[in-house]
Amino acid sequence: MFISFEGIDGSGKGTQVSLFMDYLSKKGVDFVYVREPGSTPLGEQIRNILLFSQEITPKAELLMFLASRAQMVERVVKPALALEKLVIADRFIDSSVAYQGFARGLGVELVKKLNDFATGGLKPDLTFYIDVPVEVAMARKKHLDRIETEGEEFLMKVRQAYLNLVKEEPKRFVLIDGNADQLTVHRKIVEEFEKRRKG
């Protein structure tokens, strides 16, 4: 099973991924964690460039995310799935659609196609989208990286794009209300996971 977590910066996604992995460990479930960009030596180098470089054009940015993804899918995700391990991804294809495709304006359909090229068409079985209003997310974030300094309007577009994706693929996505307290959000995620694992 392949599960991804998505959300705008400040949605609490990172915290929820950690809490979920703690839960899996306690249950004795074997899993592989990947984060995007990153998770391979090449991917981690790309991550540093992407988060801290001065100037990157939107197209160059997209192609670097995709390069990191292609490497990660081939070297980490596919081998783990072949061993029937659970894979937990902190961001995956939908981040590129929402951030680069929609918010940066490169085109949602184009990014979906390029995602397919990079991943060979691999999609998560389940995607938790943690939804919070932009004001809430902005208030939570203290340390901002390059993409996060884009501001309110940018994040509003990212959120809108995610909400569109949830509507388009209601079977893959589970919308989680990230406005609730951490434990409530965590419990909801576990509940949805267990439902699917059994079903």
Question: What is the rounded CA–CA span in Å between residue 183 and residue 162?
Answer: 23
In the bound complex, what is the minimum distance in angstroms from residue 28's beta carbon to ligand TYD? 27
100 binding ligand TYD? (CB under 6 A): yes
Using DSSP's 3-state secondary structure scheme, residue 23 falls into helix
Please list every residue from 59 through 88 that binds ligand TYD, using CB under 6 A: 65
Q: How far is the CB of 166 from ligand TYD (least distance, A)?
A: 17
Per-residue binder mask for ligand TYD (CB under 6 A), 126-155, x = binder: ---------------------xx-------
Sole binder of ligand TYD in the list 6, 19, 37, 77 (CB under 6 A): 37
Strands 86-90 and 2-6, how do they pair?
parallel
HSE-CB at 37 with a 13 A cutoff on CA atoms is 24
Question: Can residue 13 be called a binding residue for ligand TYD (CB under 6 A)?
Answer: yes
**Residue 172 CA neighbour count, 13 Å, CB half:** 21
Among 36, 124, 159, 178, binds ligand TYD (CB under 6 A): 36
Q: Among residues 9 and 131, whose Cβ is nearest to ligand TYD?
A: 9
Query: To the nearest whole angstrom, how small is the minimum distance from the Cβ of residue 53 to ligand TYD?
Result: 12
Rounded to the nearest 5 degrees, what angle is found at the Cα of 69, between the Cα atoms of 25 and 65? 120
Tell me how many residues contact ligand TYD (CB under 6 A). Answer: 14
| Other Cβ atoms within 10 Å of 110 Cβ, number | 13
* DSSP-assigned letters across all residues of 107-146: -HHHHHHHHHHHHTT---SEEEEEE--HHHHHHH--S--T
Rounded to a whole number of angstroms, the minimum distance from the CB of residue 90 to ligand TYD is 6
If the CB atoms of residues 32 and 49 are measured against ligand TYD, the closer one turns out to be 49
Torsion of CA 57, 60, 65, 69, to 10 degrees: 170
Q: Which residues bind ligand TYD (CB under 6 A)?
A: 9, 13-14, 36-37, 65, 90-91, 95-96, 99-100, 147-148
